[in-house]
Homo-oligomer: A and B are copies of this chain.
Amino acid sequence: MGVPQFKNIRRTYGFDEVAIAPGLLTINPDQTSINFTLGDLEFAIPILASAMDAAVSPKLAAIIGKLGGLGVLNLEGLWGRYDDPEAVLWEIGEAPKEEATTVLQKIYSAPIQERLLGQRVQQIKESNVTCAIALTPQNTKRLAPIAVEAGADVLVVQSTVTTAKHISKSYRGLIFSELVEQIKIPVVVGNCVSYEASLELMETGIQGILVGIGPGAACTSREVVGIGVPQVTATMDCAAAREEYYRRTGRYVSIITDGGIRTGGEMCKAIVSGADAVMLGTPIAQATEAPGHGYNWGMASPHPALPRGIRIHVGTRAPLEQILCGPSTVTDGTMNLVGALQASMGMVGAFTIKEFQQAELVLAPDIKAEGKSFQIAQVN
């Protein structure tokens, strides 16, 4: 049209728009290997449980650890604020729908109690599993040493958007290179969605990056602040940074897609988009053993002035082992995620996660999903 453009708008992709295309080879699912490495730590399955209070308690961290994955406990959540989080969790679950946000705001206004942090780490360690804990950038310098001293194995530094450079009036921004040098356990940072930002984070020496801003079921960042990048593009961009950083340095930083994954299909698409592992919220919160009693809410939900995310009813479906490793009794992809991953790898002939990352993705708007809901409506 000859009209000057104020800016370009780049097309990005989400899970619902893409599908995996098979290739020239198929293999039996039992020939696939799906282990995941974070720094020196190795995990049998490439699944982390989100640092959400409705998903990970010390007990749930023990269960997922024994299944081969990694649960991340939010030390700034209820377990870092209350001696008896169980009572508080029931209070949240029992709040009427219209008061849920106000109840969350009130409950999370209780202060973090430093004396609880070490206790929580020890609770997890007593189960003989890897202990991962999460902190926000603001509190990391102050609280991380406590957790490390108590025996934490992995530190996750997480906020809605985390970059290598942060400017604040009230505190000196966290310097990740200093942190990595100081605490000596693997550091995972997030969330992040871009090539350049993840490259800058990798250069600080961290071991993993959480990918995903705005996509989770319990997150409304896109509505509230307009920010968000769909997970397929976000994962592809951060994976491209991982490849470039590895090419330059020989050091491999893990990419973990976090948010928006509820089904085996979505987990598979995340890995084909370049992820080394995924972080799950809703599927974990649906486990019989989950602390949320059938509810889930995000870490930004209780913000005192600008809550982002609602308490959603996710239901209780099955023991965590069955959700993750099957057998499945449902056909919508929400159970036996590990089995689904291995079946999918078999169908595209991938022996390893690295090979699966090379599978083909196609853009295929999910019209059937719409049709299906129509069909169901017809039938009932």
Q: Give me the interface of A with B, judged by CB distance under 8 Å.
A: 1, 3-14, 16-28, 30-31, 97, 101-102, 105, 160-170, 192-197, 200, 213-215, 217, 220, 222-230, 232-233, 236-237, 239-240, 243-244, 260, 263-269, 272-274, 301, 304-310, 312-313, 326-333, 336, 339-340, 343-344, 347-349, 358, 360-380
Per a CB cutoff under 8 Å, which of B97, B102, B244, B313 touches A329? Answer: B102
How close is A105's CB to chain B, nearest CB, in angstroms? 8
Residues of B within 8 A of A375 (CB): 217, 312, 373, 377
Known: A304-B327, A329-B102. A23 touches B228 (CB 8 A): no
Per a CB cutoff under 8 Å, which of B7, B217, B244 touches A236? Answer: B7
| Most interface-central of A213, A272, A274, A364 (chain B CB within 10 A) | A364
Q: Contact check, B28 vs A18: say whether CB atoms are below 8 A apart.
A: no
Known: A28-B169, A339-B305. A369 touches B236 (CB 8 A): no
Known: A31-B169, A306-B343, A343-B306. A6 touches B274 (CB 8 A): yes
Closest 10 CB pairs of A and B: A226-B268, A377-B377, A226-B265, A225-B344, A223-B333, A6-B236, A305-B327, A224-B333, A28-B168, A161-B347
Per a CB cutoff under 8 Å, which of B19, B101, B167, B192 touches A28? Answer: B167
Q: Contact check, A195 vs B343: say whether CB atoms are below 8 A apart.
A: no
Per a CB cutoff under 8 Å, which of B166, B229, B240, B364 touches A12? Answer: B364
Known: A6-B240, A25-B163, A374-B373. A362 touches B229 (CB 8 A): yes
Q: Contact check, A305 vs B331: say whether CB atoms are below 8 A apart.
A: no
Q: Contact check, B224 vs A264: say whether CB atoms are below 8 A apart.
A: yes
How close is A343's CB to chain B, nearest CB, in angstroms? 5
How close is A375's CB to chain B, nearest CB, in angstroms? 6
Q: Contact check, A265 vs B222: say whether CB atoms are below 8 A apart.
A: yes
Q: Contact check, B1 vs A8: say whether CB atoms are below 8 A apart.
A: yes
Known: A26-B162, A333-B220. A4 touches B195 (CB 8 A): yes
A-B contact pairs, 22 of them (CB 8 A): A3-B240, A4-B240, A4-B244, A7-B358, A10-B362, A12-B19, A19-B228, A22-B161, A23-B196, A25-B167, A31-B169, A161-B347, A223-B333, A224-B265, A224-B343, A226-B265, A226-B272, A226-B340, A227-B268, A304-B327, A374-B376, A376-B378
**With the chains together, A36 CA to B202 CA distance in Å?**
38
How close is A165's CB to chain B, nearest CB, in angstroms? 5
How close is A79's CB to chain B, nearest CB, in angstroms? 23
Q: Contact check, B22 vs A193: say whether CB atoms are below 8 A apart.
A: yes
Per a CB cutoff under 8 Å, which of B22, B217, B329 touches A227? Answer: B22
Per a CB cutoff under 8 Å, which of B200, B213, B347 touches A24? Answer: B200
* CB-nearest residue of chain B to A358: B7
* CB-nearest residue of chain B to A3: B195
* CB-nearest residue of chain B to A380: B377
How close is A158's CB to chain B, nearest CB, in angstroms? 13
Per a CB cutoff under 8 Å, which of B160, B223, B327, B364 touches A14? Answer: B364
Having A3-B196, A19-B228, A101-B331, one finds 14 other A-B pairs with CB under 8 Å, namely A4-B244, A5-B240, A6-B237, A7-B360, A12-B362, A19-B214, A22-B197, A30-B170, A225-B347, A226-B268, A226-B344, A305-B336, A307-B328, A376-B378
